[in-house]
Amino acid sequence: MQFSDIKYLGKRYVQLTLNEILEIEHNLEDNPLMIKKYLLESINANKLNNNMLPLPKTAFYDFVDKYLNSALKGDNIQYIWLKTHGVTPSKKYSIEEANNSLNTIFNFDGLKGYSGVDLENIAVRLQRQGYRLMIITGGVDPFDFYEKIKGRVKHLQRHLASIKANKSHPIQARLIFEIQVAFIVNCQDFLIEQIIHRRGRIW
């Protein structure tokens, strides 16, 4: 199905310009979780300015849903944001388990002993969780991905905590993944800082 195939009340087609097609594709690829209403309003505002027939809401929403489902290629709609950002969750991936991992392994708990920071334990956790993340997400490099989220890292936990466990699963999947990515990068930075600090004291 092409974007220009959107029917108006099932009787006639509403034409889309190339720029409109590109705008829709770009917005959905960049953020498939965006509110469809805002995208439709943007498209129709341009149409009205050019004396063109606006897109009907029902037909547009239905088409966007079909477009997103085609992007998933049969996978769960919960993972739409992950899929459109190059992340392929393994068959064993579950949002509930991923969320639990933030409290058990993707955090800094237990990395400090009686004698101070446990460098060996930090290195082991970093290696294990970095490998784990790459396995469950189809090989995504967290260090490359971090560049896309570094400006929002300090807000991720708060946003996730504001969502009820049984609501907004696609948004939960995105936030959990981003928090896991942030932990891997921050853990490596912390390890490097501690090594430099310890060597400084020794020398």
* 177-189 mean pLDDT: 89
The more confident residue out of 183 and 68 is 183
Q: Where are the beta strands (DSSP E) in the chain?
A: 7-8, 12-13, 112-113, 116-117
Q: Among 25, 2, 21, which Cα is nearest to 84's?
A: 25
Map out the domains of the chain as residue ranges.
3-74, 79-202
Give the pLDDT of residue 9: 42
Say if residue 179's pLDDT is above 50. Answer: yes
Tell me how crowded residue 42 is: count the other CB atoms within 10 A of its CB.
14
Q: What percentage of the chain reaches a pLDDT higher than 70? A: 81
Say if residue 112's pLDDT is above 60. Answer: yes
Buried residues in 80-118 as b, exposed as e (16+ CB within 10 A): bbbbbbebebeeebebeebbebbeeebeeeebeeeeebb
Give the pLDDT of residue 1: 41
Of the listed ranges 3-12, 171-180, 186-195, the one predicted with least confidence = 3-12
* 18-44 mean pLDDT: 79
